Structures are given as C-alpha cells and as structure tokens.
Amino acid sequence: MSDFVIVNEVGPRDGLQSQGKTLSIQERLTMIDALLAGGIRSIEVGSFVSPKAVPQMAGTSELFSLLPMAGAVAYSALVPNLRGYELAREAGVQSVAVVLSATETMNQRNINMSLEQTATVCAELMQRAREDGIEARAYVAVAFECPFEGLTPPAVVESLAMRMLEAGARKVIVADTIGAANPHAVRQVLERLASRSTAGQLSCHFHDTRGMALANVLAALDCGVREFDSSIGGLGGCPFSPGATGNLATEDLVLMLDAMGLRTGIEPLALVNTVRRVQALTNTPLGGHSFRWLERQSGKRQGVNHV
C-alpha cells in the first residue's frame, strides 16, 4: 500500500464560505500564496455557486484567472449545477467536484434540488466534464449524519457513491459535513465502499466538531484511503448545516501522517507561518490541536526564546 497521502486543502472554499468576513479576491489570492508557501500542492480554490447563496465565493472566476501557475499544483473548484460547471469551464478550471448529499432535506437546503434531481444533474455534469477533458470528483455529503434527518444508513452512502463512480467520478469524497462520524462508523462505510471500488477511488472529508477527525483519518487509512481534505488552521463550517464547525486542521493531519512515516510532501513546521497568515487575513483565531506545539518547535528552530 502506498505511503504517499494526498492532502487536499479546502480552506479557500469550505473554510471561507462560512466566515463572517468576506475576503476580497486579492485576499483570497494571498491565502492561496500562503498555502503554496507552506508546501501545499492540492487546493480547492473556491466554488461556482450563487453569490446570493454564498457571497464569500463571489468572483471565483476572477480568482482562477489570477492563480500562480506554480509547478505541479492541483487546483479544483466545487460546482453545484450545470450553470456552475459552465462558469468553471469558462474560467479554465481543470478539476471540478460535484456535491450529492445523502439525504433529501440536505439536498433541498443546500442546492434547492431533490436527491434524485441532484444525482441526475451530477451525472450529466460529469458526462460533460469527460467530453471537455476536465477531471470530476464527487462529494457524498452528510455521509454519516444529517443535521435534518439524523444518522445516514451506510447502504445509502454505498449506493450513491457507486452511482457517482459509475457516472464517471474519478473519486468519491466521503464527507462528514457536520463532524458527527466516529472511527467505527468510518470503518463501516469505507469497508463497504472499498469492497466495491478501489481504495484509490476514495477520499475522506472530516470536520473536527467533536474532536474525532484524526481518529477518523486513522480508521480511513486502515481501509486503504490515501487522500484527505483538510483546512488550514481548522478554518471552516458550513452555512447550510447547523452545528458544523471547522474542518480537520491541515497541520494536525500533516503532523500525524508525518509522525506515522507517511509522506505528504509537506513539512509540518512550514505550516505555522501559513496558519498565522490566514489568521491575519480572516481575522479569526485559528490553529488545530497541534498548533501551539508546532509554534514552539518552529520558534526553537528559529532560535527564538519562549517563556
């Protein structure tokens, strides 16, 4: 099994969409610069959604036109419908992610479509992406629990994930949108999926609402998953999911993987500055469970005396 794990940074999308402060395009670009400087090479840059629904994501087309073309960076964007896909294609986006929620109510609240309509639109969108030579991945949101409908049956997640893979998704991202999963539930869902697909077709997206995100990562690693979403400093939440707090912090994920001897291409201490820069931009206190420790290590390395 590969010892390389892809860390996909979703702070510029999942993190910013729930912030009280709406960042300007220049500030969003500065955030991406800070992520690149921290060694991050896979970034969900934003979403192509209604600016009335999510004003924080307005101007994502312009942002894409300004992105630094640093070598070997995988930029992607979330698209909820065909209009969003067209906008992304026109902006030159090379990789899109569609969102299918596992419950009826969540689809309605999030994108104003029924579950069946959303699944059909996602399939059509991925078909177009294939014709256009654009990579498509599919989120299965509220894969463990829905804030409106309660626990999500693993069989539902399995059937939706298979449907997305059959419709052409290169990967299914199993998303714990409100941070309600636990390692046992993660194993239950991923073992089912891994038996019907390859682990390489799976990615996980955990929120740290109840402090179990890293434990969930470990369970997913045991099932063969080698790609995870995370958000710098734990920035995040979801405006459409009551109770959702920040994503798994990128520095926590990278530090744990590094300590376990898995490779991410990211140096944990390099993220300290990234967290600080994003904190200054968003005006929000940031930092995962390990941040204070990382700060101290980074201070020691730079010869700064801490009292």
CA–CA separation, 284 vs 301, rounded Å?
26
| Token pair belonging to 136 | 């498509």
Among 99, 142, 217, 219, binds ligand COA (CB under 6 A): 99
14 binds Zn ion (CB under 5 A): yes
50 binds ligand COA (CB under 6 A): yes
Residue 47 interaction partner, one of Zn ion, ligand COA, none, beta carbon < 5-8 Å per kind? ligand COA
Q: Which of residues 225-244 bind ligand COA (CB under 6 A)?
A: 240
**Cβ 14 to Zn ion, closest distance in Å?**
4
49 binds ligand COA (CB under 6 A): yes
Instruction: Indicate the residue type of 93.
Output: V
Q: Which of residues 70-89 bind ligand COA (CB under 6 A)?
A: 78, 80-81, 83-84, 87
| Token pair belonging to 176 | 């714990």
Residue 111 interaction partner, one of Zn ion, ligand COA, none, beta carbon < 5-8 Å per kind? ligand COA
238 is a catalytic site residue: yes
Q: Which of residues 10-29 bind ligand COA (CB under 6 A)?
A: 17
> Residues in the chain, how many?
307
Stretch of residues binding ligand COA (CB under 6 A), selected from 1-9, 45-53, 116-124, 288-296: 45-53
Q: Which of residues 245-284 bind ligand COA (CB under 6 A)?
A: none
47 binds ligand COA (CB under 6 A): yes
Name every residue whose Cβ is closer than 8 Å to that of residue 234 and which is 6 or more positions away in sequence.
Answer: 208, 246, 247, 248, 249, 252, 286, 287, 288
Instruction: Give the residues lining the site for Zn ion (CB under 5 A).
Output: 14
Instruction: Give the residues lining the site for ligand COA (CB under 6 A).
Output: 17, 47-50, 53-54, 78, 80-81, 83-84, 87, 99, 110-112, 240
Active site residues: 238
